[in-house]
Structure 1
Amino acid sequence: MKIDPTRSWMAIEERLATTENPRHRQLLQVLLDHLQAEASGDFQRLVSTLSDDPQYHFWISDSGFDAGPKGFDAVTSHYTQLYEEGRNVVQYDIERIVVDDNCIVTEGVFHQVYPGRVLATRGMDVDDPDSPYALTMRLVLFWPYDDDGKLTGEDSYSDGLMFTPERITRLNPEDLPTSYAGRSA
């Protein structure tokens, strides 16, 4: 499995290219900026996509129902931890996009890079804590927006438990994007 973060926003770019509604274009552009900023580690760009009081809701069995950071400080701390742990490298193969004036819904297969040592803190047995792994799951994300076109949160729904052995794949160095090179897992 080769992780390619650019695939996370290819579907958004394609949809943006065929969308004429100005409000829908605005929301798609904000989502595109959000995904690219998260992948590249551009914290200021990422934060610029958020409203003043974002509310994240994770509806995933082993993450706690309605877990997720609430409020600007908690959400920015969430992203700081994501970057510090090296979990911001993802490939979200978006298969479906639904857009209305206040929300975008994406659905697809989500692959997130986890350093082995981070998986171990989540209770997973890993062969090598210094190796990177991919966690794979089917994911539906609701991306709600305020009147200014800023994200007011993320509502995540998965197809079951996240941290199970069948979802984890050990990665080789060549499976990682060059932006991941040099990180200590």
Structure 2
Amino acid sequence: MYVGQILENKPIDMERFDTMAVVEVAQRHLETIKEPRRRQILQNFIDHARTEASGDYEGLMATCSRKEQHYASYGSRFGAPQSYAELEVHYRGLIESNIYVIHFEAEKLVVGDDALVVEGLVHQLYPGNLIEPIYGIAVDDPDAVYLATKRTCVFFVFDEDGMGAGEHSYSDGPLTADDLVKLAPDEVPERFFKNPLTS
């Protein structure tokens, strides 16, 4: 799948912000695929993206292989989980920290037999008080919510059972202050304030 143009690297209008955007793209693409293995791969991705977007920790982990996990992040200075146990900690932290609220604006989506790749713009919400500890970027209002936008390409890899076995992500460099926009209170989705693990 290709949207037919290179997406402009800019923050999304919050009226369009939709955590299920990439799920909807993938579901439409699933209708065009006939091969059972590729359908299995794409369905796992859909389930993974849907549960992550809703903060469903148990559902999210159920899409991940217990046999193997191989994560890598290029263009970022952060480490990556290399086992199911490490992945449990990673995803619980992602949700508890409230940085799981993401609109993935897909530009390309390609499904193979062992891997799936999606490229586009990741629009991710961050509590202001986490940005400096995580990225070393001082913000003017730690109590505000910020929108981070980065061009990202992620390769999802799968085991023989069609379960997610890792993500290899590439971005156009570390997050900078230029990638951040402070949101007005009325621009922040209500769901951001209803964390499924800590509320």
Match of 2:92 in 1: 80
Which residue is 1:141 aligned to?
154
Task: Tell whether the 8 Å contact from 1:112 to 1:135 is kept in structure 2 after alignment.
Answer: yes
The AA in structure 2 aligned to 1:44 is: E
Structure with the higher fraction of residues in strand conformation? 1
Distance 2:75 2:96 in 1: 22
The residue aligned with 1:56 is 71
Cα 1:38/1:91, change in 2 over 3 Å: same
What SS does structure 1 have at the residue aligned with 2:119?
A: strand
Q: In percent, how many aligned pairs have the same letter?
A: 35
Return the offset for 1:135.
1.1
For 1:94, the equivalent position in structure 2 comes to 106
Give CA deviations for 1:132-157 in whole Å, capped at 9, x if unaligned. Answer: 11111000000000110001100000
Matched, 1:22 2:36: yes
What is aligned with 1:127? 140
Give the superposition deviation at 1:11: 1.3
- The 8 Å contact of residues 57 and 95 in structure 2, kept in 1 or not, is answered as no
Please give the secondary structure, in 1, of the residue aligned with 2:124. Answer: strand
In 1, Cα distance between the equivalents of 2:178 and 2:172? 13
1:140 corresponds to which letter in structure 2?
C
User: CA distance change for structure 1 residues 29 and 176 in 2, over 3 Å: closer, same or farther?
Assistant: farther
Count of aligned positions: 180
* Structure 2 Cα separation of the partners of residues 136 and 32 of structure 1: 22
Which residue matches 2:18? Answer: 4
Match of 2:59 in 1: 45
Cα distance, 1:182 vs structure 2: 4.9
Aligned CA distance change for structure 1 residues 61 and 181 (closer, same or farther; 3 Å): closer
Matched to 1:59, the amino acid is: Y
Aligned partner of residue 114 in structure 1, secondary structure: strand
Partner Cα separation in structure 1 for residue 126 and residue 37 of structure 2: 35
Distance 1:182 1:80 in 2: 15
How far apart in 1 are the matches of 2:112 and 2:85? 28
Q: How far did residue 181 of structure 1 move?
A: 3.2
The answer for unaligned runs of 5 or more in structure 1 is: none
Larger deviation: 149-158 or 15-24?
Answer: 15-24
User: 2:118 & 2:128 partners in 1: Cα distance?
Assistant: 28
The alpha-carbon distance between structure 1 residues 35 and 182, as it changes in their structure 2 partners (threshold 3 A), is closer
Gaps of 5+ in 2: 1-12
Contact 1:5 1:90 in 2 (8 A): yes
Q: Is residue 113 of structure 1 aligned with residue 125 of structure 2?
A: yes
- Decide whether the 8 Å contact of 1:51 with 1:150 is kept in 2: yes
Aligned match of 2:193: 181
Task: Say which of 36, 41, 44 aligns to 2:50.
Answer: 36
1:96 is matched by which residue type in structure 2? Answer: K
Structure with bigger helix share is: 1
Indicate the RMSD between aligned Cα atoms, in angstroms: 1.5
